[in-house]
Amino acid sequence: MSDLVCDFCGKSVKEVEKIFSAENAHICNECIGTCSDIIAKEHLKKERAQFQKGLNIPTQIKEHLDNYVIGQEEAKKVLSVALYSHYKRIDKPTFKNVEIEKSNILLVGPTGSGKTLLAKSLAKIMDVPFAVADATALTEAGYVGEDVESILSRLLASADYDIERAQKGIIYIDEIDKIANKSESATSGRDVSGEGVQQGLLKILEGGEVYVPLKGSRKSSSAETVLFDTTHVLFICGGAFVGLVGDDEHKKKFKPKKMGFLKSGDDEQSQKEIESKDLINFGLIPEFIGRIPVIATLNPLSIEDLIRVLKEPKNAIIKQYQALFELDGMELEFSDDALEAIAKEADEKGVGARGLRGIIEKIMLPLQYELPAREGVEACIITNDFIEGKKDVELRFEEVKKEAE
């Protein structure tokens, strides 16, 4: 026995704690430990590869969002990390006896800053069912309007009534600030769309089993229902929260650098985020706020951002109109000063990116009506002078037509 050596590392029985033998093969305890570590690492790699199917890391999620949403860098980082953590939680709701709680998200920002687009873009990358609900249409039980369970019905419908798939989907509740408790300011009657709706949303936000009508509303006694578990449903709530804080504090709390994580050396006061007490003062109940731990704030888009929104995203408005004109055999071009004029008009209206389409549609309508009937038009150039009505639109005709004339 004193002559035994490990066939893997060559160490003798005197150099290690123990050597295990099987017929003519020998292995020491150290090599067994090394092999065990290698096997464990390979197993983790396989689990991660399996887990990563359909789920990207935060940096890749943000890169995807960059293709659709201009600006809002810190908000995109917050959402990317929150989404990644949420789907790790679905895979491992309990890890090493630690229960990982759900982290729903609240998006706070002015209208047209990209709240809804961020939520839709997230659902697209995850390839999961996605539903949008408007909080202004919700009422508490017993009153005319939509009930909170109708939100889950929409998610179920978007999953083609596949209950397992729907239970891992994403729900975006817009205008969440409109269900703030208004009872104190109301002159009479109950606030049926305020605190009562917040109370109704608590259970589905936290995660629980709810009977959901397959079609219609729970107010219909004949509606067929199904038991829906919201434990793994990610809720993203969005709202403008106009007047959340005073003017001075508003500037401070909506300062671009304040979103995301504090860096060492940053002025904590200047980086101050929206706090729970601000939301409570606005009219949200503490229980509701407690179920939405992740808050991401979006800034108003600058004129430069609005110009980028017009031309950079994959589904940019300019690209859509260029495709429409190309189907008619014409090129469509916008001069830089024209894009700036459109962005300035949207900025003056105070509706952010949401107002861009309406402005462009108004500009393009007469052209879309007249140009298909014009022969030989090769390109149409939109300039600032045309937008302001100083000149007609610039048209470039095919060379063959010019020679024939």
The owner of tokens 């969002």 is: 65
Instruction: Look at residue 44 in the predicted model and tell me its pLDDT.
Output: 65
| Beta partners for residue 5, in sequence order | 12
* Tally: H helices and E strands in the chain: 16, 14
According to the annotation, is 9 in a ligand binding site? yes
Query: How far is it, in rounded angstroms, from Cα 30 to Cα 35?
Result: 9
Instruction: Look at residue 324 in the predicted model and tell me its pLDDT.
Output: 92
Q: What is the pLDDT of residues 12-39, one digit of tens each?
A: 888 898 888 887 888 999 999 999 888 8
Using CB atoms within 10 A of its CB, is residue 338 exposed (0-12), middle (13-18) or buried (19+)?
Answer: buried
DSSP for residue 136: G
Residue 215 tokens read as 């079609």
Q: What is the pLDDT of residues 96-149, one digit of tens each?
A: 777 777 789 898 888 888 888 888 887 777 777 888 888 888 865 544 456 788
Structural domain boundaries of the chain?
A: 1-54, 56-180+195-216+224-246+274-297, 303-397
Instruction: Look at residue 215 in the predicted model and tell me its pLDDT.
Output: 64
By the 8 A CB rule, do 158 and 200 touch?
no
Residue 338 tokens read as 């024209």
Instruction: Look at residue 190 in the predicted model and tell me its pLDDT.
Output: 41
pTM, two decimal places: 0.68
According to the annotation, is 31 in a ligand binding site? yes
Give which of 299, 387, 312 is closest to 345, Cα–Cα.
Answer: 387
Q: What is the pLDDT of residues 192-223, one digit of tens each?
A: 457 888 888 888 888 888 888 776 544 445 56
Cα separation values, 87 from 76, 98, 231, Å: 17, 16, 12
Query: How far is it, in rounded angstroms, from Cα 299 to Cα 74?
Result: 10
By the 8 A CB rule, do 133 and 151 touch?
yes
Name residue 83's amino acid: L
3-state SS assignment for residue 228: strand
DSSP-H helix ranges across 115-167: 115-126, 149-158, 163-166
DSSP-H helix ranges across 26-145: 29-51, 58-66, 73-91, 115-126
Query: How far is it, in rounded angstroms, from Cα 172 to Cα 336?
Result: 35
Instruction: Look at residue 37 in the predicted model and tell me its pLDDT.
Output: 86
3-state SS assignment for residue 223: coil
According to the annotation, is 237 in a ligand binding site? no
Q: Which CATH class is domain 303-397?
A: mainly alpha
The owner of tokens 């994403």 is: 170
Longest dimension (CA), the chain: 107
Give which of 287, 295, 276, 292 is closest to 102, Cα–Cα.
Answer: 292
Judging by DSSP bridges, how do beta strands 294-297 and 209-213 pair with one another?
unpaired
| Domain over 56-180+195-216+224-246+274-297 is classified CATH 3.40.50.300 | yes
Angle at alpha carbon of residue 76, lines to 72 and 80, rounded to 5°: 180
Angle, in degrees to the nearest 10, between helices 195-206 and 149-158: 50
Q: What is the pLDDT of residues 245-275, one digit of tens each?
A: 443 444 444 444 333 333 333 333 333 467 7
> Computed from CA positions of residues 300, 304, 307, 311, in that sequence, does the dihedral angle turn out positive or negative?
negative
Query: How far is it, in rounded angstroms, from Cα 179 to Cα 191?
Result: 9
The owner of tokens 């996605």 is: 130
Give which of 289, 261, 262 is closest to 275, Cα–Cα.
Answer: 289
pLDDT score of 56 more than 70: no
DSSP for residue 372: G
According to the annotation, is 380 in a ligand binding site? no
Give which of 190, 129, 183 is closest to 160, Cα–Cα.
Answer: 129
Angle at alpha carbon of residue 173, lines to 187 and 77, rounded to 5°: 125
Residue 119 tokens read as 């939520």
Average pLDDT rounded to a whole number, residues 235-239: 90
What is the DSSP annotation of 310-362? HHSSTT-HHHHHHHHHHHTT-EEEE-HHHHHHHHHHHHHHT-GGGGHHHHHHH
294-297 sheet: strands from edge to edge: 130-134, 170-174, 234-239, 105-108, 294-297
pLDDT score of 91 more than 80: no
By the 8 A CB rule, do 107 and 114 touch?
no
